[in-house]
């Protein structure tokens, strides 16, 4: 790392422009979320009553502080709906992360053990679906999983089942949708960790009499743990706040926090509660997010 130095004016502009943009559009709005969550719902446009007005001065602020609207927060704590939604999100995200690992690890390993000249192409092909429309990939699974969908139709035509299976609008469908959508996030760090492993370590273990399974368990897997960790975080974090997948593939009774936020905002037009739900969601992911950030900073320092 180089020592601190004075930046030229051009450099200050290059730093200042994205800095200011993200501060205004990404950072500052979080303060607004907190502010709105303390407001009261109102039948106006916008549908909330501001509690604070910055122009009023400190004397009025103190008065107003006494009548802060904790309505949204009280509702959040009192209504088991929100707790269930948070629990549901965590459970679905955890299950999806596990399944994504079980599917992604063999695939990442198979790619990492392929001849060297094929690897870049295989990795690119494993990542490419991520860049095709998210909505369309979820739509494809609706087409496949519906009661009168392609999978049921094919299975019935083959005589495997007599009546359509109930696949659509289930928790399993949501997990499948999340795994399918975020699999590239799991494969990429796993592959990066597996690819740079020295084959000599495995050969040494095998030479010393370890069975292939034992080599995998004592050499390959422990060395891949940073990749496992990174992949798990990259699937888990977006899965917790996911809206589109539970909305389209889950049943109407499927409670998840991202969907709850959406419903409060668009269906109930209850902005204070939506803001409070957003903060609750942030709290849910702040732990994993900190871990991710720490891993990233460590990785940035390494080279």
Partner 1 sequence: MSRPLRLAIIAFGFAFLYAPIALVVLYSFNASKLVTVWGGFSTRWYAALFANAQLMESAWVSFKVAFASATLATLLGTAAAFALARFGRFRSRLLFSSMIYAPLVMPEVIIGLSILLLLVALGVERGVWTVALAHATLTTCFVAVVVHARLLDFDRSLEEAAMDLGATPWTTFRTITLPLIAPSVAAGFLLAFTISLDDLVIASFTSGPGSTTLPMRIYSQVRLGVTPEINAVSTLLIGAVGGALLLVALALRPARGGRRGAGR
Site residues (CB under 8 A) for partner 1, limited to 246-275? 248, 258, 261-262, 265-266, 271, 274-275
For residues 66 and 237, which CB has a smaller minimum distance to partner 1 in the complex?
Answer: 237
For residues 66 and 244, which CB has a smaller minimum distance to partner 1 in the complex?
Answer: 244
d(Cα 128, Cα 183) in Å, to the nearest integer? 11
**Phi/psi-derived region of residue 159, left when phi > 0, alpha when psi is between -120 and 50, beta in every other case:** left
DSSP string of 192-211, one letter each residue: HHHHTS-HHHHHHHHHTT--
d(Cα 141, Cα 139) in Å, to the nearest integer? 5
For residue 244, state whether it binds partner 1 (rule: CB under 8 A).
yes
For residues 92 and 109, which CB has a smaller minimum distance to partner 1 in the complex?
Answer: 109
| The only residue of 129, 222, 251, 287 in contact with partner 1, by rule CB under 8 A | 129
Site residues (CB under 8 A) for partner 1, limited to 89-128? 103, 106-107, 109-111, 113-114, 122, 124-126, 128
| The only residue of 123, 175, 183, 205 in contact with partner 1, by rule CB under 8 A | 183
For residue 161, state whether it binds partner 1 (rule: CB under 8 A).
no
For residues 32 and 201, which CB has a smaller minimum distance to partner 1 in the complex?
Answer: 32
For residue 297, state whether it binds partner 1 (rule: CB under 8 A).
yes
Tell me the C-alpha to C-alpha distance, in Å, between residue 172 and each of 96, 249, 271: 9, 9, 31
For residue 132, state whether it binds partner 1 (rule: CB under 8 A).
yes
For residue 169, state whether it binds partner 1 (rule: CB under 8 A).
no
Q: Where are the alpha helices (DSSP H) in 45-170?
A: 58-66, 71-78, 80-112, 119-131, 134-145, 150-157
For residue 190, state whether it binds partner 1 (rule: CB under 8 A).
no
d(Cα 294, Cα 277) in Å, to the nearest integer? 26
For residue 278, state whether it binds partner 1 (rule: CB under 8 A).
yes
| The only residue of 75, 193, 224, 240 in contact with partner 1, by rule CB under 8 A | 240
| The only residue of 40, 64, 119, 137 in contact with partner 1, by rule CB under 8 A | 137
**SS3 state of residue 102:** helix
Question: Do residues 270 and 47 lie in contact, with contact meaning Cβ atoms separated by under 8 Å?
Answer: yes
d(Cα 224, Cα 20) in Å, to the nearest integer? 38
* Dihedral angle sign, alpha carbons of residues 139, 143, 144, 148: positive
Closest CA to 39 of 51, 53, 47, 31: 51
| The only residue of 65, 78, 296, 298 in contact with partner 1, by rule CB under 8 A | 296
106-134 as b/e: b if 16+ CB within 10 A: ebbbebbeeeeeeeeebbeebeeeeeeee
Stretch that binds partner 1, among 23-31, 63-71, 74-82, 221-229 (CB under 8 A): 23-31
For residue 224, state whether it binds partner 1 (rule: CB under 8 A).
no
For residue 64, state whether it binds partner 1 (rule: CB under 8 A).
no
For residue 218, state whether it binds partner 1 (rule: CB under 8 A).
no
Stretch that binds partner 1, among 20-28, 56-64, 65-73, 77-85 (CB under 8 A): 20-28
Q: To which residue do tokens 């006494």 refer?
A: 66
For residue 78, state whether it binds partner 1 (rule: CB under 8 A).
no
For residue 7, state whether it binds partner 1 (rule: CB under 8 A).
yes
Strand partners, 40: 49
For residue 66, state whether it binds partner 1 (rule: CB under 8 A).
no
Site track for partner 1 across 35-54, x = CB under 8 A: -x---------x--------
């Amino acid at each position: 790392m180089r020592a601190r130095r004075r930046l030229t004016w051009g450099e200050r502009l290059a730093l200042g422009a994205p800095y200011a943009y993200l501060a205004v559009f990404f950072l500052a709005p979080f303060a607004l979320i907190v502010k709105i969550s303390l407001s009261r719902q109102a039948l106006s446009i916008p549908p909330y009553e501001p509690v604070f007005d910055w122009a009023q001065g400190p004397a009025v602020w103190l008065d107003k502080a006494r009548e802060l609207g904790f309505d949204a927060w009280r509702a959040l704590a009192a209504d088991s709906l929100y707790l269930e939604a948070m629990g549901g999100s965590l459970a679905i995200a955890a299950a999806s992360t596990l399944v994504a690992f079980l599917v992604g690890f063999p695939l990442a390993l198979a790619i990492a053990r392929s001849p060297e000249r094929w690897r870049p192409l295989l990795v690119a092909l494993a990542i490419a679906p991520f860049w095709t429309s998210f909505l369309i990939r979820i739509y494809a699974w609706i087409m496949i999983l519906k009661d009168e969908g392609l999978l049921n139709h094919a299975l019935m035509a083959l005589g495997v089942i007599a009546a359509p299976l109930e696949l659509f609008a289930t928790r399993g469908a949501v997990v499948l949708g999340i795994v399918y959508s975020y699999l590239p996030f799991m494969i990429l760090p796993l592959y990066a960790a597996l690819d740079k492993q020295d084959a000599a370590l495995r050969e040494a273990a095998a030479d010393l009499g370890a069975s292939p399974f034992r080599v995998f368990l004592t050499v390959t897997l422990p060395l891949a743990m940073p990749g496992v960790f990174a992949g798990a975080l990259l699937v888990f974090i977006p899965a917790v706040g996911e809206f589109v997948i539970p909305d389209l593939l889950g049943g109407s009774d499927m409670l998840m926090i991202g969907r709850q936020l959406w419903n409060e905002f668009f269906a109930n037009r209850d902005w204070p509660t939506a803001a409070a739900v957003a903060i609750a969601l942030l709290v849910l992911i702040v732990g994993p997010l900190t871990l991710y950030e720490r891993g990233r900073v460590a990785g940035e320092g390494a080279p």
